[in-house]
A and B are shown apart, each in its own frame.
Chain A
């Protein structure tokens, strides 16, 4: 079956502009995660959605970052007024609560470059 998909694969934007990154999780997966991968920083947790529960936003670095998940499926990560330090690869992952294995399936990521 299809894996996690993300779009766009690459995004170049000017400082100060807003960007939207999209994630399509595996069908039926109730949990969805956003991470940021920067050189030398490893994998930084941003936000976690679990079913209909309120999302865990504890990893969002500033109020310029927000995310939503519509209909328990597709998720959009929005970064407002982008800064150069926002340049990174943004990864989305999903997992199935039903199997209780908690294995995360990752998408290919969106490489964001802020000029």
Chain B
């Protein structure tokens, strides 16, 4: 069964610090990869996604993620975080298998940015 591991459950950073959140998945086939974000009091929403092509994908609010197939990783990065980035971040994966769209989520990483 596919699984997703997020290594950091709680991260505290000062504003302007660089961010990298780790994500590894366990499936060896072709996958689609996602990062979702949940800001305090808001719905989960898509931050960025990878389907094919350039392994470095850009998302909203200056976030990016790099798909490294050999490492089964899809780490999320941002060069300089802001207080408004305080949120919970979820990595997710689904099998690229035609119409089957079941998505597996990681446990989430809570990011706290200190002004």
Contacts and interface: CB of A to CB of B under 8 A. Distances in A.
A50 B101 contact: yes
A95 to B, nearest CB: 6
B45 interface: yes
A18 interface: no
B43 A102 contact: no
B20 to A, nearest CB: 19
Contact of B101 (A40, A91, A97): A97
B106 A97 contact: no
Interface residues of A, number: 25
A77 interface: no
A42 B108 contact: yes
A31 interface: yes
Contacts of A91: 44
Contacts of B103: 33, 45, 102, 104
A106 B32 contact: no
A42 B105 contact: yes
A104 B46 contact: yes
B90 A102 contact: no
Interface of A: 3, 31, 33, 35, 40-43, 45, 48, 50-51, 56, 91, 93, 95, 97, 101-104, 106-109
Given A48-B102, A108-B43, 10 more contacts: A33-B103, A40-B107, A43-B105, A43-B106, A43-B108, A45-B102, A51-B99, A95-B101, A104-B46, A106-B36
23 contacts: A33-B102, A40-B107, A42-B106, A42-B107, A43-B106, A43-B108, A45-B103, A45-B105, A48-B101, A50-B99, A51-B99, A56-B102, A93-B44, A101-B49, A101-B51, A102-B32, A102-B34, A102-B49, A102-B94, A102-B101, A106-B36, A106-B45, A107-B43
